[in-house]
Each structure stands twice: as C-alpha cells, then as structure tokens.
Structure 1
Amino acid sequence: MTKGSGDARMQPFWEGRKKDSTFYPVIYGAEMDEDWTDPKVWKKANPSLGETIGMDKVKAACESARQNPGEENSFRQLRLNQWVKQAVRWMPMEKWDACAFPVDPEELEGRVCYGGLDLSSTTDLTCFCLVFPPEDESEPYYILPYYWLPEETLPLRVNRDHVPYDVWERQGYIQTTEGNVVHYGFIEKFIEALGEKYNIREIAFDRWGAIQMVQNLEGMGFTVVPMGQGFASMSPPTKELMKLSMIVSGYTWLAIFHR
C-alpha cells in the first residue's frame, strides 16, 4: 500500500500506539525543517524518483510552487509526504514532551488539588485526573491521571484497536474493573480513597451519564461541578493550559496514546 500524507493508518504503528505483527509500515517523507526545494530531499521522500515518477515532473512542480506560494503546501504534502496545514497540532509535541518527569504521589499527600471526571461505559477509557496547583512561583502544576477499562473487554480492545492496553494494565498505567462495562461503584470508592489522601476542593464532571455518580460523590462530601466539553467551556482553560508549566505522572504511555 502506498499513500501520500493524509493517510493515518501507518502513523499509530510508527509511533508505538498500535501493534500488529502482520502489518509492516514504512513511511518515506521529508522532515519539516528540511529544504523542500532540494532534490536530495525529494529523493528521500520518493525512493523511486526517476523510475515511477520523473525528476523533471517534480522539478517543474517545485518551480511552480516557488513562484506561486499558494502551491507550496500542496507540493510539500503530495511530493514530500509532509503534514502541513491539516497536521498542525493544538499542542506541539515538544511542549508535551517537556513534561516528562516522574511524580511521587506520596509527596503530594495533603495538598490542595482539583479533580476532573470523564465517564465512559464500554468503548472509551474512563478517566479521573487530579491537578495540583503550585504552592509557590517556582513550582509546576502536577497531574495524577487514572484510567479504567472493563476487564472482560480488554483482550477484544487490544485486538480491535491494536493498542497495548494489556501491557499498560500490567505496568499500572491503567486499571480494569470487573465485568464488561466500567464499574462505577469501584471508581467511586477509588475517588473516595483519594479524598482521604489529598485535599480535593472540587471535582468537575462531564454531564453525560454522570447523574448517579455525581449524587454519590456529593454524598461522600465532595463538591461536584458540571463542566461541558463544548467550545464555550473548553476554549479558555485550554488556552491557559498552553501557558502553564506542568508535570504529568504516567507521561510515557499517555504521550504515545495521544500523539
């Protein structure tokens, strides 16, 4: 299979998010900082240049792109297999990678923090995160994320998604609950236990499917507030997130999963 930039089937394997011993992906392309007008770069992205595609044709397309800036992105995407406009990430990965430091949860015991809860049932990960604000100007934000999947669906999801959930579960990055759906009661008790270790001021939750759990958490003494996931609710905090200095526990698998 040969595809130009825009086909994302190979990318998850290349980045380590998926595994499949029957699928061997090879990606030819130019780095974003390489000179897109250099014939050597063309060859790197087109190993059959001069065989299946003529050098004169690529040279003419490059010259046209140099004279017409509006054609540059098209040339870089189709001839050099670069991700241009449509591949711009909201969070540049070098910024996310800079958060790669271990976190000792015991050192955060007793500190003020805020929780975020995103529930699922059978298909998605259920997530609960604790965010610890800095206690002084020199300190970053600390983030402790927790993830759950139904135990019975784990093998199916590994095969279906080509994602090593089973490995992450053994490594302690995600947890499973009994049955074929996420056990909300288990998660409620887990959050209650966290509340005994940390000073959780508020828990924000996505309104979808959370009514009963919200009532139960409130019964445990937590302050629970709704948080929509639409543009109006998410835009201001995500802009602020880009400005912050933070350290994320469980960084390695989390970074791979979200690339």
Structure 2
Amino acid sequence: TAYPDSNSQFYKDQQMMEEVMERDYDRSLDDNLCMVWEQDSLDETNQPETWVKSNPILDLSPEKHDQLMKSLLSERDTKMANGSLPEFQNKSLNMWLQVKQNKYLDLDDINRAAVDDAPIDIDGRECYVGFDKSNFSDDTSIAFVFPYLDNDKPRYYVKQHSWVPLARAQNNVVLKEKQDGINYRDAEKRGFCDIAKNDYGYIDDGAVFDWLMAYVEAHKLKVKYFCYDKWGLSKMIGWIEQKTDWNTMPVKNVIQNLNEPTADLRKQFDTGTIRYDHDPIIAYSLKNAVLYGNNNGVKIDKEKATTKIDFVDALIDAWYTAMFHFDDISLEKFDAKNPFSGMSNDDINDYFTNDFSF
C-alpha cells in the first residue's frame, strides 16, 4: 500500500528497484522481487474498470468483485464530495502523492524536477545564493539558483550543499540518520554535504565560509545576491560583507516578506521551470515542506522538530531576489551621483581595462 509519506523506506525501495530494472543489462539485485499494484494515472480515478491494477483481489471471484467495487465506489464518491479525493487515490489506488492538506509541493512536481545530467555548465554563470544557519540539530544549508534560458524560455538550475551537526545525536551519524531519515554518509560521498568531524559535533562557520569561497572561485561564479535570514545571526554574514563585494540581502522570516517568493517558487515547480540534481537532501526537504498561513499570506514550515527543511529555507531566501532575474528589475538602491552604482569591483576594473579610453 502506498503511504501518505513518500519519505518512507518502501517508496525508496520501489524507486531503487525501478532504476535497477531499467538497467537490466547489469543484472544487479537479481535475487530481489519487486511487485507493485498501482494505477498508471490519476485519470483512472474515474475509470473503475481499471481499478484491478491496484486492487488485484477484484478478480478473485464475481462475488468478491461486486462487494469490493461497491465499497471502493462509495469511498471515492465520499472523498470527492468532502474534498479529500487524494486520500482515496493514495490509499485505495496506490498512487504515491503528497496527501497532506498543507503540503507545499506535489510529489510529481518534485520528482519531475530531478535530472540525471546538469542542464547547464555552471562555470562563469550568474547565481543567487541563499544561506540558512543551523539551529541546534538543524543542518546548515547553502542554496544556489542559476537562471538560464532554454530556447528563450526562463529556467532555473538549483544546487545545494549542507553541513550536518551531530551534537544533538550523541556525535553518532547513524543515530542522526535515523532521526532525520536521510542517508548522510551516502550524500557526503556524492558531494552533497559535509558531516561534522570535530569531537563536539558542531558546525564550524569558518569551514562553511571557506567552502563557499572555494566553490565560487573554482567555478568563477558571479554572485548577484547573497541572501540570508535577517534574524539568523552568524559570523558568515560579517565575513561575506567585509571580505567580498557581493550584494547582500537580509530577508525577514515573516509572512509579509516570504509570501511572494514562497508562492512564486511553488509556481515554478508546478510549471516545470526548476531543475535539480538527484540530491537526496533536496528531495527530502521539498517533501517535508508544508505551508503555514494567515491573513497576510503563506510561508514554509515543518510539522515536527526533527523534520528537515533547511535547504528549502535557504532556497526561499535565494528566491527572494532570484525571482526577479528575468524581469529586468534591480533591487539595489541606485545612486544617481555615482556612475558605478550597482557595479561590482570586478565590473569596475573591467570597465577601466577594456571599455574606458583616455
């Protein structure tokens, strides 16, 4: 049976077996058996004659068929009437969905955005950076948003890197993995995170800063904005402002500020303009994100303390400025008296080197 939570081990096993079957030539896991009964499409919700796909006992006998079908039809009609049809599709048709009423993204949109190969080469590209500082057992995350054009259509490639503290998990990565539901050791091998290595299990701000500087330098990135939670105090902010010429943007963690980037990012996932690597931390965080709202709008939240949405928080911060990239809107305060207002030091140097003549 498909569970309401797609972060379950069964869903991971099903995905793994599907990938193995697609690579049938290598004959790996030939001693495993994978049998799944589910509908092929949500459109089949209104095609009861196809429900045997997810309910094989319908074919056991005519009596069994009539009895079960009557029950299924009644449940579907009831759920449809009270607005909870996804619960029926999830439980009775075995369709993997984000069935929570306050879910942020649909599971299909999350899966569709994941790609095997990077859509662009990030070297030398403009990007927007979001930073979410860890708090107690939370991860520290940096999100990168790379805008690009695909046949003149705006697209966004998203990457992340996280730092995993062990201080609240007895400095034990196995316990931390069980608490969070993420295989951090595998993610670290694949380059998606760093696990705390010191005796106390804390994340060192200096290590995070050094990694970011080295990454930006290695890929020659042009950081348009570095965005961060205004109330998330960190040495990182001071170092960024004093040691780089990046534009920094503090983002207040209140609904009035976060409503627009939260809603716009959701629309981008829904319309298929977002792409990200098969990164387990990204996928897990997106699945865990739920919406909290009031009369002023909505923002991202999580349902329990151990749930990880740190990457999403960092991404929303980056999206606060990235969503304007293709709209020809500058968030900088332009100084009419300064001819170099809005230009980085590199841009100014390039101007005098290549464009200006005496």
TM-score, length basis structure 2: 0.54
- Secondary structure of the residue that 2:44 maps to in structure 1? coil
Alignment partner, residue 154 of structure 1: 173
Q: 2:188 aligns with which of 169, 188, 195?
A: 169
Q: Give yes or no for the alignment of 1:34 onto 2:44.
A: yes
2:202 partner amino acid = V
Whole-angstrom distance in 2 between the partners of 1:36 and 1:135: 39
Alignment partner, residue 112 of structure 1: 126
Give CA deviations for 1:112-142 in whole Å, capped at 9, x if unaligned. Answer: 2211001114422211122222378356323
Alignment partner, residue 155 of structure 2: 140
Q: 2:256 aligns with which of 232, 236, 246?
A: 232
- Secondary structure of the residue that 1:210 maps to in structure 2? coil
Segments of 5+ residues of structure 1 without an aligned counterpart are 20-25
Segments of 5+ residues of structure 2 without an aligned counterpart are 17-34, 288-358
In the superposition, relative to structure 1, how do residues 215 and 83 fare at CA in structure 2: closer, same or farther (>3 Å)? same
In the superposition, relative to structure 1, how do residues 178 and 138 fare at CA in structure 2: closer, same or farther (>3 Å)? same
1:217 CA drift (Å): 1.9
Q: 1:215 aligns with which of 215, 218, 238?
A: 238
- Secondary structure of the residue that 1:218 maps to in structure 2? helix
- Secondary structure of the residue that 2:43 maps to in structure 1? coil
Alignment partner, residue 23 of structure 1: none
Q: 1:245 aligns with which of 249, 273, 279?
A: 273
Identity rate of aligned residues, in percent? 19
Alignment partner, residue 209 of structure 2: 188
1:223 CA drift (Å): 3.0
2:11 partner amino acid = W
Confirm or deny: 8 A CA contact 1:112 1:132 kept in the other structure. Answer: yes
166-175 or 89-98, which deviates more: 89-98
Whole-angstrom distance in 2 between the partners of 1:236 and 1:188: 29
Confirm or deny: 8 A CA contact 1:128 1:145 kept in the other structure. Answer: yes
1:78 CA drift (Å): 6.0
Spell out the pairing of 1:12-161 with structure 2 (5 A cutoff): 12-15=9-12, 30=39, 32-35=42-45, 38=48, 41=51, 44-45=54-55, 47=57, 58-62=68-72, 64=74, 70=81, 73=85, 79-80=92-93, 86-87=99-100, 90-96=104-110, 97-103=112-118, 107-134=121-148, 137-138=152-153, 140-150=155-165, 152-161=171-180
Whole-angstrom distance in 1 between the partners of 2:222 and 2:228: 18
Alignment partner, residue 22 of structure 1: none
Alignment partner, residue 201 of structure 1: 224
Give CA deviations for 1:145-195 in whole Å, capped at 9, x if unaligned. Answer: 111113644232124344311111112221224321111111112223344
Whole-angstrom distance in 1 between the partners of 2:186 and 2:202: 20
- Secondary structure of the residue that 1:108 maps to in structure 2? coil
1:28 CA drift (Å): 6.3
In the superposition, relative to structure 1, how do residues 229 and 251 fare at CA in structure 2: closer, same or farther (>3 Å)? farther
Alignment partner, residue 323 of structure 2: none
Alignment RMSD, CA only? 4.2
Residue-pair matches, total = 248
In the superposition, relative to structure 1, how do residues 202 and 252 fare at CA in structure 2: closer, same or farther (>3 Å)? closer
